[in-house]
Structure 1
Amino acid sequence: MEARGALRASRSARIRLGAAPSAVFPLFTPEGERRWVEGWNPESVYPADGAAELHSVFLTHNHAAQPSIWAIVGLDAEHFRVSYLRAAPDSHVAFIAVECVEDGPGRTVATVSYTFTGLSAAGNDYVAGFTPEHYGEWIGQWEVAINRYLDSLRHASKMA
């Protein structure tokens, strides 16, 4: 791993979601993301049950099968805030923060912020790819996926 000349990029975007923060916030936990992220399959290291708590640790695997190590480094569930550290050891480190605030009855604005730092030439290439435009499109896909999930819940409750 060659960390000299590390590239860093910070990005932030807001997404609008069709449910109250109390319903939306759990979707930004390791287990909650299973509901709306296709292929998301975190492997809990601690605690074993995968509960979202301060200093929880879990792994995810990318297409190259190298695990990324994640830790919850900040959690304020009462105010709908969570932050993570994600390390892909041969590539990059990312600090991730999510904050959900009410945007009227049954609506939430979630601010999703990432700070990426390359750990290698490949990691710098990864970081360089997160242009403001790419980041906006990427987080925009989150908005679509989460709202689709929330719509499916509303539809299911009407059918019940």
Structure 2
Amino acid sequence: MRLTGTLTVPLPPEEALSLFTARGEERWADGWRPRFPVPTEDDTEPGTVFETGAHGEATVWVVLGRRSGRSISYARVTPGSRAGTVTVTLEPAGERGEASEVTVTYDLTPLTGEASRELEEFAAGYPAFLASWKAAIEAFLSAAEDGSG
């Protein structure tokens, strides 16, 4: 199942991309706590592996590729549930490129019948899912701007 949607972030792509890295997402995504089995300085380095337990599910992630300031892609496997990729691509938005249009594509394969049903539910709520990302990022940036974040 391939799901693609967009959101706008009020930062230029070079700054906004950091919000979609393993450590960057931790700043705004509730419950997102990446764990690196091998110490790593650069969480965008292709081949970097990390694990998450967000939403009560253990997921293993591998950075597949990156384009500085423009995109990052991950492989992700939630054992016994689903596997696939997530790609985040940023393009300048606004008159002077002061914002970013962020395209997020999940390409997931269910590993069980139950996972197939769960993916159908995820697909139905995908626009709301991305809207929640936008709201969380804006709240984080607002708090950071006023010094409370």
Q: Is the 8 A contact 1:85 1:94 kept in 2?
A: yes
Q: Secondary structure at the match of 1:75?
A: strand
Take 1:89 and 1:128, find their aligned partners in 2: how far apart are those partners? 18
Q: CA deviation at 1:135?
A: 0.4
Does residue 93 of the first structure (1) align with residue 83 of the second (2)?
yes
Match of 1:29 in 2: 21
Q: CA deviation at 1:121?
A: 1.6
Structure 1: state its 5+ residue gaps: 1-8
Matched-pair identity in %: 25
Match of 2:48 in 1: 56
Q: Secondary structure at the match of 1:136?
A: helix
Match of 2:129 in 1: 138
Q: How many residues align?
A: 146
Match of 1:5 in 2: none
Q: CA deviation at 1:115?
A: 1.0
Partner deviation per Cα, 1:111-160 (whole Å, 9 max, x = no partner):
011111100122112212123x410010111011111112222222xx9x
Structure 2: state its 5+ residue gaps: none
Q: Secondary structure at the match of 1:31?
A: helix
Quickly say closer, same or farther: Cα 1:36–1:62, change in 2 above 3 A.
closer
Match of 2:102 in 1: 110
- When structure 1 is superposed on structure 2, of 46-55 and 100-109 the one drifting more is 46-55
- CA-based RMSD: 1.8
Quickly say closer, same or farther: Cα 1:63–1:102, change in 2 above 3 A.
closer
- Aligned AA (1:122): E
Does residue 125 of the first structure (1) align with residue 111 of the second (2)?
no
Q: Is the 8 A contact 1:47 1:56 kept in 2?
A: no
Quickly say closer, same or farther: Cα 1:155–1:81, change in 2 above 3 A.
same
TM-score by length of 1: 0.83
Does residue 154 of the first structure (1) align with residue 142 of the second (2)?
no
Partner deviation per Cα, 1:9-60 (whole Å, 9 max, x = no partner):
1111110111111211101000001110112101012444463211110011
- Aligned AA (1:95): T
TM-score by length of 2: 0.89
Q: Is the 8 A contact 2:9 2:137 kept in 1?
A: yes
Q: Secondary structure at the match of 1:35?
A: coil
Q: Is the 8 A contact 2:63 2:75 kept in 1?
A: yes
Select which of 67, 74, 94 maps to 2:58. Answer: 67
Match of 2:33 in 1: 41
